[in-house]
Amino acid sequence: MRDTLVLNASFEPLSTVSLSRAVVLVLQDKAVVEQAHPELRVRAAAVELPVPRVIRLCRYVRVPFRRQAPWSRRGVLVRDQHRCAYCGGRATTVDHVVPRSQGGADSWLNTVASCAQDNHRKADRTPEEAGMPLLRQPFVPTPADAMLLALRAADRDGLPEWLGRVQAA
């Protein structure tokens, strides 16, 4: 099922919802379609509307402040674009920079995407001990960036340019 990006009334990214939930929000006049899939349409007995990619809420929703996105293995893979931090190849696993056996935590700054071969080769050593320097340093994505990265690549392609500008602000 397609994910639909939900923007607050102020155009800030809030979350992603399923296609059916997005259609319900639009039909209840709680949201408007900001961008739709060009050829796809949702049809029912009395209504027809484009399949929404991005919807915007009609009323502003106050969101509690979150300092950082919650950590997850999938989030690390998405943040690193499924590229191994050691060789640049296709990553399928998550590696702890400081191994858990040495007190390393499950955190954004201590985990990187890794291919299975490099993860196995590094084992329970630090990159320095293993002689495997990181190609790029891990970082903490903002909650909004993490949510946008979580969209499938096909759903991210063609998002409006202004959405990227809102993120930079």
Instruction: Tell me the mean pLDDT in the region 13-26.
Output: 88
Tokens, residue 143: 């909650």
Integer Cα distance of 31 and 35 in angstroms: 12
Q: What is the mean pLDDT of the chain?
A: 84
The answer to whether residues 115 and 89 touch, using CB atoms and an 8 Å cutoff, is yes
Go through 99-121 and write b for each residue having 16 or more CB atoms within 10 A of its CB, e for each that does not: beeeebeeebebbbbbbeebbee
| Predicted confidence (pLDDT) at residue 29 exceeds the cutoff of 80 | yes
Instruction: Tell me the mean pLDDT in the region 134-163.
Output: 70
| Predicted confidence (pLDDT) at residue 153 exceeds the cutoff of 80 | no
pLDDT tier at 16 (50, 70, 90 boundaries)? confident
The answer to whether residues 142 and 115 touch, using CB atoms and an 8 Å cutoff, is no
pLDDT tier at 151 (50, 70, 90 boundaries)? low
Question: Residue written as tokens 């399928």?
Answer: 92
| Predicted confidence (pLDDT) at residue 125 exceeds the cutoff of 90 | yes
Question: Residue written as tokens 């935590």?
Answer: 105
User: What percentage of the chain exceeds 70 in pLDDT?
Assistant: 82
Tokens, residue 135: 């190609």
| Predicted confidence (pLDDT) at residue 67 exceeds the cutoff of 70 | no
Residue, of 93 and 153, whose pLDDT is higher: 93
Integer Cα distance of 61 and 5 in angstroms: 15
| Predicted confidence (pLDDT) at residue 38 exceeds the cutoff of 50 | yes
The answer to whether residues 55 and 25 touch, using CB atoms and an 8 Å cutoff, is yes
- In the chain, what is the greatest distance between 2 CA atoms, to the nearest angstrom? 66
| Predicted confidence (pLDDT) at residue 143 exceeds the cutoff of 80 | no
Instruction: Tell me the mean pLDDT in the region 42-62.
Output: 88
pLDDT tier at 165 (50, 70, 90 boundaries)? very low
